[in-house]
């Protein structure tokens, strides 16, 4: 992704992006009235709002939201502004978007995954917390029937696996291959685990055993 408005091929969009980045609201509104699109995308298909977040430009993002930018607009990979925010290193971006009315379960426009999937992949526990506080659901499925519990297991985020189970995530939910989350859970030598991670692993295995659920094998 480019670092400035030149990544927007349409001159009108580039001028609008420059005004937004400069914080020139009067000019941005004038250009908007003349037909500029707050949801314009750059050459790679990235919407202006995602572009502002990627550049950590809060002033530009706030102005875009005020001018009608849609946080549900996906980029070429389907990631909305909320998905990009879920991968950030702080909750500030999620706070901004959620306070602006964006949904915690906004689906990726290509694969249907919610921002929680991206927060898990990016290993951002604070963003996981923030999304759950905002009502992110654990029973959602993407277009491959993968759930957040599957995703937590896929990235070996054992604390999140435990947390999701404690919160009521369905351990018997199967993806489109027929696999439940435990098929993706850490399958190496448990002796290699240590500290809290080992305790979470042991807790998960005991939790399954207490419910008569035999751990899946690959």
Predicted confidence at residue 218, as pLDDT, reads 53
pTM: 0.90
Distance CA 152, CA 154 (A): 5
Interior angle at CA 195, CA 194 and CA 200, nearest 5: 95
Q: Looking at the predicted structure, is the pLDDT value of residue 3 above 50?
A: no
pLDDT band at 217 (very low <50, low <70, confident <90, very high): low
Interior angle at CA 157, CA 46 and CA 147, nearest 5: 65
Predicted confidence at residue 186, as pLDDT, reads 72
Distance CA 124, CA 130 (A): 10
pLDDT tens digits, one per residue of 171-205 = 999 999 999 999 998 776 776 777 888 899 999 99
Q: Indicate the DSSP class of residue 10.
A: S
Distance CA 27, CA 31 (A): 6
pLDDT tens digits, one per residue of 68-99 = 999 999 999 999 999 999 999 999 999 999 99
Mean pLDDT of 31-37: 93
Q: Are 171 and 180 in contact (CB under 8 A)?
A: yes
Q: Are 106 and 83 in contact (CB under 8 A)?
A: yes
Domains of the chain: 1-70 (1.25.40.20), 72-137 (1.25.40.20), 138-218 (1.25.40.20)
pLDDT tens digits, one per residue of 130-174 = 999 999 999 999 999 999 999 999 999 999 999 999 999 999 999
Least confident of 8-17, 32-41, 79-88, 194-203: 8-17
Q: Are 198 and 190 in contact (CB under 8 A)?
A: yes
């Amino acid at each position: 992704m480019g670092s400035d408005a030149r990544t927007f091929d349409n001159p009108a969009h580039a001028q609008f992006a420059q005004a937004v980045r400069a914080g020139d609201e009067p000019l941005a509104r004038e250009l908007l009235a003349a037909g500029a699109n707050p949801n314009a995308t750059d050459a790679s298909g990235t919407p202006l709002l995602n572009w502002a977040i990627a550049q950590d430009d809060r002033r530009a993002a706030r102005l875009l939201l005020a001018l009608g930018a849609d946080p549900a607009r996906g980029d070429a990979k389907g990631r909305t502004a909320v998905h990009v925010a879920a991968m950030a290193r702080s909750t500030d971006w999620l706070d901004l978007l959620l306070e602006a009315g964006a949904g915690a379960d906004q689906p990726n426009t290509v694969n249907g995954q919610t921002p929680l999937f991206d927060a898990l992949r990016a290993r951002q526990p604070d963003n996981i917390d923030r999304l759950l506080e905002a009502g992110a659901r654990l029973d959602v499925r993407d277009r491959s029937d993968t759930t957040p519990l599957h995703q937590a297991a896929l990235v070996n985020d054992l604390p999140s696996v435990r947390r999701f189970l404690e919160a009521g995530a369905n351990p018997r939910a199967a993806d489109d291959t027929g696999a439940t989350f435990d098929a993706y859970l850490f399958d190496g030598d448990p002796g290699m685990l240590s500290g809290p991670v080992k305790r979470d692993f042991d807790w998960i295995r005991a939790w399954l055993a207490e419910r008569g659920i035999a751990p899946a094998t690959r």
